[in-house]
Amino acid sequence: MSSDKEKWFSYSAIRFTAEQVEWILQNLTTFEAGRWPKEPSGRDLENPDSAYSTGSAPEELTGTGDYFTKTYKVYSTGDKASFVKPALIAAEITARMDMCGRDGEMCRQYYEAERVELEISVVNRVKAYISGWNRRTISYWDWCRRKRRS
């Protein structure tokens, strides 16, 4: 298992698993600002200039000519503005937390202010509810009642 500092997910990898939801909540203010968190390797995907490699070809390639000295594109933002994907992720998580009412707000406060005095069981319950590929069709309170029974 990687440490929290090494966690990083691309947009295409987001499936709202428990680990990804935790990472998104830790970086929610960055997402709401329309930026994707920086990769632990230090590559800045927000800066288009950093998405290009201007060095020589990889060591395993040998040969001469322009093919090995050109600049090659590593990442593509597609046809959307750079803030769209982070904003979509932030909106989805926020909508899911809003379904949890005051518990969702407490969870948000926990990650924004890193307040340890909040009841961790509430935070864990909210994270479990908002995890998953789709939003839940059952209300948060009904879901909590069912969880207590099982």
Q: How many domains does the chain have?
A: 1
Residue 61 within a domain:
no
Residue 44's pLDDT band, with cuts at 50, 70 and 90, is low
Tell me, yes or no, whether 75 lies in a domain.
Answer: no
What is the distance between the alpha carbons of residues 101 and 29, in angstroms, rounded to a whole number?
19
State pLDDT tens for residues 16-41: 999 999 999 999 999 999 999 988 87
123 occurs within a structural domain: yes
CA-nearest of 150, 130, 144 to 25 is 130
Averaged pLDDT, 64-93: 68
Tell me if 49 is assigned to some domain: no
In a domain, 31, yes or no: yes
Is 110 domain-assigned? yes
Q: Which structural domain range is residue 110 located in?
A: 4-38+80-149
Please compute, for residue 36, the number of CA atoms within 13 A of its CA located in the half-sphere on the CB side: 23
CB 90 within 8 A of CB 32: yes
User: Is pLDDT of 135 > 60?
Assistant: yes
Specify if 60 maps to a domain.
no
Residue 137 inside a domain? The answer is yes
| pTM flag (> 0.75) | no
